Amino acid sequence: MDVTRRGFLQITGAAFMTSVMYEFAGQTAAMAAESGGAYKLVDTQETTTICCYCSGGCGTIVSTRNGELINIEGDPDHVINRGGLCSKGSSQFGVNSVYDDKTGERIINPNRVQKPMVRRAGKSEWEEISWDEAFDEIAGRIKKTRDENYEETADGVTVNRCEAIASFGAAALDNEEGYALQKLCRALGMTYIEHQARI
Ligand code: SF4
């Protein structure tokens, strides 16, 4: 079939218009569907923070309603990640909540450890203890270890150190917490102080 230049333009023009109309029809249906549902972030309070998982420090926005966590997503205004989160960062919401398979309702993640746990020497089972018991036990062990191992001098030189305790910080520590922890470690005379951010 011979197609003139004018005929070619008419055919391609008609095909283009058909595809545009099809796209608009699809989008109209999608937009209508979206506007019918309740926006999940309505009436929430936004708080900016950083991802708890690695030393990248990606910025996130945490949305809460009446003190309840509703959503966590990347902060588009953050200088490091501009709103993007890796797969680990994107899953932060699941640390707190998951959706029930059967009801579809949001529930507190049943795998989350919410109370202090201890596994005693020689035991295979973990047992729950109260926060007071946990603090007392940790403080008691630190004091005992420091008392038994503190050195004021070594080889005639003043050292004031305790090499029997070490500290390893995780990325969940923010700047201020890291500063306070560093103060505590130095006050105890500790020399082995590390942080995941150095990896
Ligand atoms: S989103 Fe990923 S890269 Fe960013 S801080 Fe979290 S774990 Fe690290």
Q: How, if at all, do strands 157-169 and 190-195 pair?
A: parallel
CB atoms within 10 A of CB 92: 18
Which range among 34-38, 95-99, 110-114 shows the weakest confidence by mean pLDDT?
34-38
Distance CA 92, CA 99 (A): 14
What class has domain 45-108? mainly beta
- Say what percent of the chain tops pLDDT 90: 56
Pocket lining: 58 vs ligand 1, CB cutoff 6 Å:
yes
Q: Could you tell me the end-to-end alpha-carbon distance of the chain, in angstroms, rounded to an integer?
A: 69
Ligand 1 centroid to residue 72 C-alpha, Å: 13
How many Å apart are CA 102 and CA 189, to the nearest integer?
54
Distance 87 CA to ligand 1 centre (A): 8
Q: How far is the CA of 100 from the centre of ligand 1 (A)?
A: 26
Residue 157: HSE in the Cβ half-sphere, 13 Å Cα cutoff: 3
Is the per-residue pLDDT at 15 higher than 70? no
Predicted confidence (pLDDT) at residue 104 exceeds the cutoff of 60: yes
Q: Would you give the DSSP letter of residue 84?
A: -
Amino acid letter, 141 = R
- Looking from the CA of 83 toward its CB, the CA atoms found within 13 Å total 2
Say how many Å lie between the CA of residue 20 and the centre of ligand 1: 40
90 CA → ligand 1 middle, Å = 8
Is any ligand 1 atom within 6 A of the Cβ of residue 62?
A: no
**Residue 199 pLDDT more than 70?**
no
CA distance 199 to 187: 25
Element (H, E) at 19: helix 5-36
Nearest CA to ligand 1 atom 3: 56
pLDDT of residue 153: 97
Instruction: Give the model's confidence band at 120: pLDDT under 50 very low, under 70 low, under 90 confident, else very high.
Output: very high
Q: For ligand 1, say whether the CB of 86 is within 6 Å of any of its atoms.
A: yes
Give the whole-angstrom CA distance, residue 165 versus residue 191: 8
Q: Is the CB of 72 under 6 A from ligand 1?
A: no
In the predicted structure, residue 170 carries a pLDDT above the cut 70:
yes
Q: Report the pLDDT value the prediction gives residue 2, as an integer from 0 to 100.
A: 65
Q: Where are the domains of the chain?
A: 1-37, 45-108, 117-198
CB 166 within 8 A of CB 192: yes
pLDDT higher than 80, residue 180 = yes
- The alpha-carbon radius of gyration of the chain (Å, integer) is 29
* pLDDT recorded at residue 3: 66
For position 13, what pLDDT does the model report? Answer: 64
* Whole-number Å distance between alpha carbons of 54 and 113: 20
Ligand 1 in contact with 56 (CB < 6 A)?
Answer: yes
Q: What is the pLDDT of residue 36?
A: 61
For residues 151-159, average pLDDT: 97
